[in-house]
Amino acid sequence: MREILLVLHTGRPDNRRTALHVITELGRLGVRTRVLADEWAVLGEEPALPDDLAPLPVPVGPDCAGGAEAVLVLGGDGTLLRAADLARPAGVPLLGVNLGHVGFLAEAEEDTLDEALRALAAGDYSVEERTTLEVVVRSNGHALGRAWALNEAVVEKTTRGRILEVVLEVDGRPVSSFGCDGVLCSTPTGSTAYAFSAGGPLIWPQVHALLVVPSNAHALFARPMVIAPDSVVAIEVSAGGQSAVLDCDGRRTVSVPSGARVELSRAAEPVRMVRLAAQPFADRLVRKFDLPVRGWRGAQQLRRDQIRGTGDARAREDTGVPPPPSGSAGAPPAAAPTVDGNGAAPTRRTGGTGTPEGADDPARPGRPGG
């Protein structure tokens, strides 16, 4: 039987009632629900479900999502980041339903939940891959710890009253040294989270890149940098300064002693996300951040162009006149080829067709909540 793993924020009564509704609806659609055993212990306090709709409790572990079609997440982005720990090892896609605040990673809202469940049961969705970071802490040639991140990895100070002295390295070459509160390395997914709060730019989903953002740096040149996706970033902690801590997505931490270095690169294993419908990233920004767009006239112009184009096509059909050829009256002239300084036409370059990266909700500041 087809199965979906349900992960939820159990701390709110409304979330628990929504979870029971999800279990019931998926059962009626022919999909059995797995529920984490500790979460089912809390859900079991709610009204009982019929035996034929009862979920399958599973222990928390790297194999709990294995064989499932998807991991359905009810909560905010913090809950989705927790679910990513379970879905990533199994390569199972995540579908987030926002029951929190901003919920940048969520694909659906509570008022579209039933529609999302029907699409999930019917297989009417696409899957995109999100870049993740692989992080290693080294000291004297030995690996002290490893971690991964979907949003960002942060090397930050542990003592409030002192600054952290670091040297920033990219692709084996030193870039700058400075004192700071920390340094963030973010994926495009995390560019709307902690990195955004620290002054970093938003990175559009189609852009393949990594983002490095110093936090409260005491330096003239310590600006955010967008670097190649295959670059390797290293953050060296001064041997004569204080120690630091590596924090990945606010969930996984590794101590960084004085004199150690943190190496960050794109991981081979992505996080897979369910997409129910194509949506411009600009629309998601406007909706999630409640951005003002009053005064925009683009839609009116687009509508006029569509009407004009439809009218021209109908007129040609009525008269039997074919559309004008390129360069003739009534049609825009063909653009002249661009040439370089030697008078030769340059080689045409086409962009890649990589998968989008997405974003999510700041709440730390910038640390996802849920």
Q: Which residues are catalytic?
A: 77
Cα–Cα–Cα angle for 10, 12, 13, rounded to 5 degrees: 100
82/55 Cα distance (integer angstroms): 20
* In contact, 331 and 324? CB cutoff 8 Å: yes
Q: Take residue 248 and report the two structure tokens written for it.
A: 């990945």
363/277 Cα distance (integer angstroms): 26
168/177 Cα distance (integer angstroms): 6
From the list 134, 86, 96, the residue with the least C-alpha distance to 263 is 134
The DSSP call for residue 131 is -
Rg (the chain; Cα; Å): 25
Residues 6+ apart with CB under 8 A from 198: 184, 213, 214, 215, 216, 366
Length of the chain equals 370
Q: Take residue 33 and report the two structure tokens written for it.
A: 């629900």
114/239 Cα distance (integer angstroms): 56
The DSSP call for residue 333 is P
- In this structure, the number of other CB atoms found within 10 A of the CB of residue 329 comes to 6
